[in-house]
């Protein structure tokens, strides 16, 4: 029987934040192609909502380096303490993404290796929340599992919960919430085996 927080994985990140920061700083080898593709789809100086931004390195840092205006959101207070030290001029919001309601829209939402920490029942409502924070033709990027189910991993000596719906469920949720799928790669070998979704918000 696995131990650790299943419902609120961010509490685990509070405990491993210092370890995570040391381990996850500058290597963008795996994500770069997807981030460069995102940048090519956005207007110059576009706005990005980074959901589960962690310490801000390396993804938020890379987007800022490419002249995008990024707002970081994370439910881990410890991760945001580090992020604010790293990027004192960036807006960071301490909030569980399941409760997010900023009252404004962005050119892109990104939930890279964060959305998949939510339990299966909490994932479907997130698509309306993604849409709520996107401009028309805005881009959504998120990572999921390759198929429906739950899994546990270990980071920094702590158990980390992951969950996923299946491909058809995600496609249906995207369609129902005004998205068109631009790219879906299952267990991309060039991205550390990540399953990646890229979609455009284009409601009727």
3-state secondary structure of 110: strand
Per-residue DSSP letter, 63: H
Q: Other CB atoms closer than 10 Å to residue 65's CB: what's the count?
A: 10
Q: Are 162 and 118 in contact (CB under 8 A)?
A: no
Q: Is residue 144 part of a domain?
A: yes
Find the mean pLDDT for residues 79-101.
96
- The predicted model gives 107-129 an average pLDDT of 96
For residue 82, tell me if it sits in a domain.
Answer: yes
pLDDT of residue 49 exceeding 80: yes
* 5 in any annotated domain: no
Q: CATH number of the domain at 166, please.
A: 3.40.50.150
2-41, pLDDT tens digit by residue?
555 777 877 877 787 776 677 766 677 789 999 999 999 9
For 47, the domain range is 10-22+32-201
Count of structural domains within the chain: 1
DSSP class of residue 190 equals: G
Residue 1: pLDDT over 50:
no
Q: Is 4 a member of any domain?
A: no
Mean pLDDT of the chain: 91
Flag whether 142 is in a domain. yes
1: in domain: no
The model's pTM is 0.92
Structural domain includes residue 160: yes
Average pLDDT over residues 73-96: 96
Three-state SS sequence of 141-187: EEEECCCCEEEEEEECCEEEEEEECCHHHHHHHHHHCCEEEEEEEEE
Domain-embedded: residue 3: no
Q: pLDDT tens across 133-161, in order?
A: 999 999 999 999 999 998 877 677 777 78
């Amino acid at each position: 029987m696995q131990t650790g927080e299943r419902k609120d994985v961010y509490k685990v990140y509070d405990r491993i934040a210092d370890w995570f920061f040391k381990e996850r700083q500058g290597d963008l080898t795996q994500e770069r192609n997807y981030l460069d593709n995102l940048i090519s789809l956005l207007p110059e100086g576009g706005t990005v909502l980074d959901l589960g931004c962690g310490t801000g390195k390396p993804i938020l840092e890379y987007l800022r380096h490419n002249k995008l205006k990024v707002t970081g959101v994370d439910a881990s207070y410890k991760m945001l303490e580090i992020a604010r030290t790293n990027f004192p001029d960036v807006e960071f919001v301490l909030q569980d993404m399941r409760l997010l309601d900023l009252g404004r829209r962005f050119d892109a939402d990104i939930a890279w290796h964060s959305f998949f920490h939510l339990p299966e029942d909490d994932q479907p409502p997130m698509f309306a929340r993604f849409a709520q924070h996107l401009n028309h033709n805005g881009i959504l990027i998120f990572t999921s599992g390759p198929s429906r189910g739950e899994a546990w991993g270990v980071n920094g000596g702590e158990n980390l919960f992951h969950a996923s719906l299946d491909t058809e469920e995600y496609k249906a949720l995207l369609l129902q919430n005004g998205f068109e799928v631009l790219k879906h790669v299952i267990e991309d070998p060039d991205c550390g085996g990540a399953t990646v979704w890229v979609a455009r918000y284009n409601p009727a």
